[in-house]
Amino acid sequence: MLAPIGLEHFLVLSGALFSIGLYGALAKKNAVVVLMSIELMFNAVNVAVVAFSRYIAPATTAQLPDTARFLLTGQVFAVFVITVAAAEVALGLALVLAIYRLRATVHVTEMNLMKQ
């Protein structure tokens, strides 16, 4: 029988998702795929902070006077991460489209205007 799900399960899942995203961001030529991989890494971090908020925060904030305020800090962090991710992907894709219009390529290996 499988062990009950705990913090470690969520963290290992988060680490695996982050590593896959890191590989995609480092190894892919297509700038859109690089952006997709960065989104995967954002998601991995969100899973980790929300898991910490669920499993670690209750035990560590129980001694504080107003517990409820601190329990959900991880979830608020995740809200901000999602906001920044939205801004990042909008600007990133605008950049990709602008470069595509100029150079007719979305491959990061061919975006070497400053090298020439």
- Using CB under 8 A as the binding rule, the residues of this chain from 12 to 41 that contact another protein are 12-13, 15-24, 26-30, 32-33, 35-37, 39-40
Three-state DSSP at 33 gives helix
Torsion sign over Cα 77, 82, 83, 88: positive
Nearest-5° Cα angle at 105, 102 to 110: 100
Interface with another protein, residue 103, by CB under 8 A: no
CB of 91 to another protein, least distance (A): 5
CB of 115 to another protein, least distance (A): 15
CB of 113 to another protein, least distance (A): 16
CA distances from 13 to 6, 40, 50, 57, 69 (A): 11, 12, 13, 19, 27
Interface with another protein, residue 102, by CB under 8 A: no
CB of 15 to another protein, least distance (A): 4
Interface with another protein, residue 62, by CB under 8 A: yes
